[in-house]
A and B are shown apart, each in its own frame.
Chain A
Amino acid sequence: MKKVLVFIAIITISISANAQSKSNRIPNFRVNNFRINYDVAVPLGKMSNEFISQMSWRGVSIENRWGIKPKISIGYLLGWQVFAQRFDNYTQELNNGNAAINGNQFRTINTFPIQGTVHYTIVEDADIMPWVGLGIGLAHSNQVMQVGFFEDQRTITSFSLTPQAGIDLPINRVTSLSVSTRYNFFLHSSQPFNYSFMVFSVGIKNRYF
Chain B
Amino acid sequence: MNKPSNLLKGLIFFIILIFSSCYPIEPEFVSDFDSVFTEKSDPDFDFGNPAIRTYYLADTVMVLTDPGVSDTNLEVDLDLVLNRVRTNMDQAGYTEISDRNLATQADYLVLVSVNRSDNYFNTWWGGWGGWGGWGGWGWGGCCFFPPVVTTSNIRTGSIIVELLDGKTLSQRNQTIPEVWYGVGSGLFQGNNANLNNRTLRAIDQMFIQSPYLKR
Contacts and interface: CB of A to CB of B under 8 A. Distances in A.
Interface in B1-40: 1-2, 4-5, 7-8, 11-12, 14-15, 18-19, 22-27, 31-40
Interface in A14-56: 34, 36, 38
Contacts of B8: 36, 175, 204, 206
Contacts of A139: none
A36 B14 CA distance: 12
A121 interface: no
Contacts of A108: 22-25
B35 A150 contact: yes
Contact of B209 (A84, A91, A98, A150): A91
B37 A100 contact: yes
A7 interface: no
A8 interface: no
Contacts of A94: 39
B35 A149 contact: yes
A163 interface: no
Contacts of A150: 35, 37
Contacts of B185: 148-149
A100 B2 contact: no
Interface string A178-209: 00000000000000000000000001101110
B135 to A, nearest CB: 12
Contact of A58 (B4, B12, B18): B18
Interface of B: 1-2, 4-5, 7-8, 11-12, 14-15, 18-19, 22-27, 31-40, 43, 156, 185-186, 205, 208-210
Give 7 closest A-B pairs by Cβ, nearest first.
Answer: A148-B35, A103-B35, A99-B39, A84-B25, A208-B1, A102-B36, A100-B209
